[in-house]
Structure 1
Amino acid sequence: MSDTPENGAATQEAAAAAPQVSSRVLAQYIRDMSFENILAQKGVTGDAQPEIQVQVNLDARKRKQDNQFEVITKLNVTSKTKESGDPLFLLEVEYAGIFEIKGVPDEQMHPYLLIECPRITFPFLRRVVSDVTRDGGFPPLNLETIDFLALYRSELARRAEAEKAKAN
């Protein structure tokens, strides 16, 4: 296929017709956070090998301003001893980002908010978790990268199963 002037013009027209997506992070902040050092409060004897569980929830809402959205990543991190299951620490954090998003079609806004936006703020949330666990008297917890696309798909599947069960 040759690049004729007609093909080039058609490509430029198609690009001009497609909406330009722009996304800006206006703010990031900790909405809510709680850290409990249960090990220091109750004391655990012996060499405690930790077992860590991380639960992730996402929430997004439209703000009053045009094209602005608040996206919240909620983490619930629990650490228990492998041997006895005694709790070592509990960290609950809600980390939010305010985004200005333009050009995303309405039918694609929900996945954009729950996949792309948390992907942008996650490195900052990871740093908060690392600092809080270190400052709380434990080795810094470096979270693995979260696959927000897989998380989104599993939530859609869970909702579809719940709807199916509700219909039956």
Structure 2
Amino acid sequence: MSDQPNGMVPVPPGPLVLNLQYTKDLSFEVPGAPDIFLNLAENPRLDVALDVNARKLQEEHPVYEVVFQVRADAKLTDGRTAFIIELAYCGIFTVNVAADVLEAVLLVECPRLLFPFARNILADVTRDGGFPPVMLTPIDFVALWQSRRGQSSGLAPVANA
């Protein structure tokens, strides 16, 4: 029998646990408002940039902050900026995996869990800002990770990974 209340047996944490998620930074700008809305005949062209970073929060525990960053610039056909939105959406994760797969878990699996929430925030903010909602298509985080892996200005290294 267990010494735990109600006879519960303690279960060790799994290989990946999302402890907390939050918006670290959010910015939405409409530089040409209100005039931009008078001539808004078509949906703006959207340029999207993505990034993922991770850092260890506690030396003695496998706890990491993963930051999924999105920047979208919307331009009209005449070149004017319709809006700019920037979001840094974060998760605090406990990651109990082998060192050789830690980077992939932090920079692929963790942002994959954060993505639906960040996507929802982007859609809500742009819709509430007077534009059609920005609906990010699903992201191939494996390809993003692989394309950035060898670049010197790429993802921040994972501390103590």
* TM tier relative to shorter chain: 0.7 to 0.9
- Scaled by the length of structure 2, the TM-score of the pair is 0.79
Matched, 1:52 2:46: yes
Secondary structure at 1:97's aligned position in 2? strand
Matched residues in 2 for 1:148 and 1:46: separation?
33
1:46-90 Cα shifts (integer Å, max 9, x gaps): 624410011001110001261111000111111001x21110000
Q: 1: distance between equivalents of 2:40 and 2:68?
A: 35
Q: Is the 8 A contact 2:31 2:83 kept in 1?
A: yes
Determine which structure has the larger helix proportion and give its number: 1
Between the two proteins, the alignment pairs up a number of residues equal to 139
Q: 2:112 is aligned with what amino acid?
A: R
Q: 2:86 is aligned with what amino acid? A: E
* Secondary structure, aligned partner of 2:135: coil
Name the TM-score, length of structure 1 as normaliser.
0.76
| AA in 2 matched with 1:121 | L
In structure 1, the residue matched to 2:68 is 73
Q: Deviations over 1:116-146 (max 9, x none)?
A: 0000110010000011101111111111011
AA aligned opposite 1:97: G
Q: Percent identity?
A: 36
Deviates more, 1:39-48 or 1:67-76: 39-48
Decide whether the 8 Å contact of 2:73 with 2:83 is kept in 1: yes
* Aligned Cα root-mean-square deviation (Å): 2.0
Contact 2:126 2:134 in 1 (8 A): yes
Change in Cα spacing, 1:67 to 1:45, as seen in structure 2 (3 Å) is same
1:141 alignment partner in structure 2:
134
Question: Which of 83, 86, 90 in structure 2 is aligned with 1:92?
Answer: 86
Greater CA radius of gyration, 1 or 2? 1
Q: Give the secondary structure class of the aligned counterpart of 1:35.
A: strand
